[in-house]
Structure 1
């Protein structure tokens, strides 16, 4: 947000600077160089003496009057060949010089003018020029005046813009905090503004949008929770009925079918449990904060894995210290990653962890087929499964990785997929300092 208003301030300052240059060059084009006008006013006394006193003398007295001016003037006045004068002048000033006009040399505090064009003042006067030096020209003061003028204009623009921007900035800060809270799961967060505030209409629309999102999420959450609970009752009845039926049936074929149906029912029950777990994580207070030992929690998570032909290497060092968070959710996230790795690994799964600057990094590697880069973001979506895992042999509902990703994000961490040194997939959990 600060970056936005900083850029706006820079834009305003650049606009004022560009406007100042445009004004200068426009005036220069239409009315002549304003600095030259200032210099000409400062040298007005010398120009007046030259044009109104020396030039008004008869031809035989012109040099005498020029010498008198030399004696009383603080400036140095010389007669130089016209060729030297032409060399000393920039090209754009030579045309005025050739017309017999006074040409001001601002950097050197001097001026040039031809004595005359026809040689009437004295013999050869048309081949000489008056060169006056050390004129009382000081455009520094003029430049300071112009700078002060533009500074006043800039302040006159920036102060109202600053007050106007400040009201917007405060309002946008409020909206940013509300967006952060809403994004963190606090669905009751709303922007409280007065109708007279500058961005009140935007805040009202955001509040309406938040109300709508909250209503939809609450409806979805309530529906998911209610349906899951309602499904549990017939599942329990079916489990009881299958147990009774299993005890009374003597036919082996029918008994196998009943066993298969019991497996389907168990799978359905697991799905309901996963859905309820997802619903709990979407609640307003999904985390149960506590201080727990990282080493013990990760090793306990590895010990709770079901038996498998795949070997598990646990490289969790002693003394990783404690972490403040929801141990149950983090253990479940790590367990889901380990069970997912067991499904697809060929022979080996590795669990490792380390701690740095208060944060915790947990890595799960396997030597399976890996996950293509194009699929690495999609596998965290609920019910999304790769093509090779759609058969019943691998099991799962496409919720394990989604639950793991949500559990990590609730702690402010990240879950990424990379290529494992073992050849398969690497799941990298990064938890920030608590």
Structure 2
């Protein structure tokens, strides 16, 4: 069953069927119990009426047992002998004895001489008594005048004027209770299929209506897949339910996917363009050298090869970062790393000043990737500085900050996020002047983010640009505060 509507309708129908079945069974049990209690009350009334007659001394063969079919009566003595039955009673069960033929009663016990009063030795009590205790109830059957039926029997004890203890068993018919239970059961069984059909139909229609936007989303996604047009969007319903949230999330995903694909296309195009220039230059020099060896510009060819090698290395690193490669982390003192990197740049055009403000500047990072970040930041500062570049290292916000400042033209506020995009080179002061491909800052930010940090650019206090790299300390929080 592949249809959600069918599964929902079937599930709702099964649940309702189980609920109605349980409720119907409970109703039948309660109805039967109530009707049985009513029959028991009628039987008790009939039994007490006969017991009252016995207490008054009415002879057994003159007892008024009322309607024999409605209330069959059996009277037994203390020994269980049947002493009286209602007229036309042919068989009985559920009263302790199945006998329906009366037997002569035993003589009443003689009173004790010590208990008799001398003045009324021959006097006998004028009446007995009926027990006030709750009667015992039992289910059984009786055959009256050839008709067998089920009855609810009540047993009431009484004492006749002679002091004999008798038990009156009177029954009340259960036919009405059985008819009522059968009628209710039949009505339930007849109505249950109709109710289940209604539930299944309503669930089908409601589910179909609820899933209609989902079908619209599916069709639009299928069209987007077929056309490869990521600019299209799925319809968003006006409701505020889960389907509407699904549509919004789907559109957000499509927007992110479109941006990612566009970024990838731009990246491929820019990479092709950047690779084409040094390759074309190198080919031209080699062709000239092949035709005229004396004109071969070996230093220029080497420079183009180095530039091509550096660009290929940048592209490879970006590809690894995009693939989610995690850096190998180890304890690293940023102050020492900065000093080592600056010491290797003794021949730079602009001198670099290093200021390590604090001690204990250890972070968990990849030494090679952080060295690459520092090198890219220093290269960027060198290209745009006028007279000086400063590197400061210190603690801040549970982490370590490395700030690289130059005294150049700075970065306009509107362009401070754009400079971290790939192959982006700003015009004027920060245009490409010595072969930069616009990948250094993009690589630096990606590495910073993958180390749990961040890279931002602001204005330097003395003018120019200030690039601040924040990384969580090895024992500090991984939260990234403002740097």
| Range class of TM-score, shorter chain | 0.3 to 0.5
Larger-Rg structure = 2
RCO higher in structure (CA 8 A, sep ≥6): 2
Structure with a larger share of its residues in strand: 2
TM-score (norm 2): 0.40
